[in-house]
Structure 1
């Protein structure tokens, strides 16, 4: 098994899931190694994502661990069989690994549910708005890096054209809708683009008004990325200190509940479009 220099979040996730299956059986690394006819170092390296693993081996290990969920095992085997270099790899070395990992996760998502507090969702941003947002970074990016950041974010929008992406729900707070990045022309263009994208068959935009009051995790923006099976869901969070990923069973359960409660406070799609038009007229 060749060692990976820098495993992606998705590759690490495969190893994490294999560790979770092993731990559910109560097996230690030493006990699992004896059962599988390998050594504990190999298992540890696979579970950490440092070593790759074949689809056949995933199935063999899951069988030895007596995992009863065939759909789960099939999804893990499919992850192991992936041999693609996605468009995001063109940006490796220029952008943060977390940004590339997010693009990869979105590429494999079956659905996305997002709540955004201070920014228009990245998948629904215009080029001018994106450039203005990155222009507010401290320190600001160099012109060359700024262009790469904008290019990467715009490429992420392609995920909305995938026929197997069943649905994208974007809960957008009034703060994000009213916040002006760039100038009034950029803001109006962004709101017009948001309205246009909300008419897509697989895109729903719902506004959360100031008057709706508080809701869970109101200080954090997040995207709940649905995997092939529920066990492979992932939450990507954005805070003032940076981006992160959560995939523990408890975290996923909490975020689903939080998004459900937040969605209850949002306007319906048509009322949301009316509200966005109202704000656009005021800019």
Structure 2
């Protein structure tokens, strides 16, 4: 079987979980290879997502590693059986970077999504003009066709919550509501759209105003994607060098604590809606 040159996010996650399973059992790669009757290099390839495995081999590995977490094993088996399913984001391979495609893949397979944003309105709730303004003002000074491509991709990502199948909670800091980069008309349109989206039954918009006693997150913008089981949840954070994907259980658990703190500190959904209306009117009055 030819090695994959570009394994998908889920293929890499499957490999990472196999490695975690092996390491928790205290087995080296060579030891596992000997038990399986394969070359040690094959173990490395499986754990990097560069080669696939069957469900039967998954269960053999789990048995050899003394893994009794049946929900995890079953969830990994589902990843294997879905491996032929290509996502719409693959259409953009060769035109957009892997970071863009990975975010779309992460969102599309999530059971629920929670985001935190301090710099701008979350991408899943952005209008076309607002998203375009963000890309137009990026440090790379993108040409217009690149701005249009990235904007179209961002809007297509929104289907994951527009169809109502994925519950979505957006924690938005007041600073993001007041950012000036998009201009008065675009900003006003975006805040109106945010109010409208917040009324959808599966969408919860929660504002963290400036007067909150403490900022519950030491991080900037991030997305928490709930997996089919808690063990397969992932956090994606924005950095100056691109996306960072976090799947180590202890680190992911830390973000669950942060989200719980935000839930306790943020305005309620109804209060947030009124707060956004107030900010919108205040900024529109100042622009007159």
**TM-score bracket for the superposition, by shorter chain length:** over 0.9
User: Which residue number corresponds to residue 130 of structure 2?
Assistant: 129
User: Which residue number corresponds to residue 199 of structure 2?
Assistant: 199
Which runs of 5 or more residues in structure 1 are unaligned?
none
SS of aligned partner of 1:204: strand
After superposition, the C-alpha distances for 1:202-241 in whole angstroms (9 at most, x for unaligned) are: 1100000000043243451111100001111100001344
Distance 2:271 2:154 in 1: 28
Distance 1:186 1:172 in 2: 18
| TM-fit CA distance, 1:249 | 1.4
The aligned runs of 1:101-120 (5 Å cut-off) are 101-120=102-121
User: Which residue number corresponds to residue 19 of structure 1?
Assistant: 19
Which runs of 5 or more residues in structure 2 are unaligned?
284-288
Aligned length: 282
Contact 2:99 2:242 in 1 (8 A): no
Distance 1:158 1:261 in 2: 28
User: Which residue number corresponds to residue 75 of structure 2?
Assistant: 75
Contact 2:164 2:202 in 1 (8 A): no
SS of aligned partner of 1:212: coil
Contact 1:174 1:209 in 2 (8 A): yes
- Which piece of structure 1 moves more, 72-81 or 126-135? 72-81
User: Which residue number corresponds to residue 286 of structure 2?
Assistant: none
TM, length-normalised to structure 2:
0.94
Distance 2:229 2:80 in 1: 15
TM, length-normalised to structure 1:
0.95
SS of aligned partner of 1:210: coil
Distance 2:239 2:214 in 1: 17
Distance 2:119 2:52 in 1: 38
Contact 1:124 1:157 in 2 (8 A): yes
Distance 2:253 2:34 in 1: 34
| TM-fit CA distance, 1:164 | 4.1
Cα 1:87–1:252 change in 2 (3 A) is same
